[in-house]
Structure 1
Amino acid sequence: MVRRNDERRAALVDAAIEVLAREGARGLTFRAVDTEAAVPPGTASNYFANRDALLTQAGARVYERLQPDEETIARQRAGTPDRETYAALMRELVGRVSGFRTGYLALLELRLEATRRPQLRAVLTERVRADLDANVAYHEQSGLPGDATAVRLIYLALNWLIVEQLTLPEVLSEAERERLVTAAVERIVEA
């Protein structure tokens, strides 16, 4: 029974991500989540104490789904630790994050909502800080060129590139985005 409940909870949180991406934070209601998840009315309210709990779990789930799979991690570790490999890793990252369009758009909605909800802001701040620290630690262990500041600058640059791609995809072509990722690595990361 616990497994089914965990699966249903995950389905409800995934439905919340879809609703956030499509309708925004104002459109995120238990009823909308129930409809998106194709479950009986009242199901979401049985799983989440309130809307804040649903928002918080949606934020955590986005990050969970954005993690690279084991094959991607193995391929990254097998690469030569140079700027070319670094740029390839960053292009893969942009592609993976952009490939989960609704997740990233939901995350943007959550970030905006966090400006009004201190508990959500605390959860997202903790999660983003932990992810950034993990990226720096991974980078330092990988032997790739550059330092912690370079990792943070790449993080900031690529986040806005992804926002641009997902919200105004006609501004830059795919080829331009790939060239910009490579240029960011070449200009920010010291050899």
Structure 2
Amino acid sequence: MRRWGTALAAMALAGAGLATTMGTAHAATKPSAAAACATGWGSGVKSAQPAAHKPLKNIKTSRHACFDRMVFDIKGGTAASKTGYRVGYVDHLYQDGSGDEIPVGGGAVLEVRVAAPSYDPQTGAESYPGRARKPLPGVNLTGYKTFKDTRFGSSFEGDTQVGLGVRAKLPFRVFQSGGQVIVDVAHSWNAVR
């Protein structure tokens, strides 16, 4: 009788251990919030050559689960007519043309240059109302996790320059979709929500 009791106890313990191991294995394969936000974007300079210089129509921002987004709307832009850009971290933002320093709030400054002037190259008429050294018109960053400040640099020789103040030097990506240049900055390096 004693052998059966010992054998049953041993089987019960082994079963409990197996159940615990299976539960741990299941938990390890379940995607975590960090995996859902993985970026791998890096923080190095990103750029593309322009196919055309079309006027800048608008700049807007939005919040997402893993990143904050800035979108440059290009008037008449299409998937076929790519807009050039150069985006990278700088120690200080210096205005194109004058060379004057523009203070930008935040722990790091991302300089965004888009090959789309704030005026129509054909007529000279203003297409975007940005003013040097001022925050971007219509952009409110209240409640953003990563974005802290925006400053319009200038529109000089066919390019528009914007300073984007972010919480810290974080990974970012740049891509184009139709007539837009899109800049996403992750909320953190491991991108946990």
**Superposition TM-score, scaled by structure 2 size:** 0.23
More strand by share: 2
**Superposition TM-score, scaled by structure 1 size:** 0.23
Greater Rg, structure 1 or structure 2?
2
More helix by share: 1
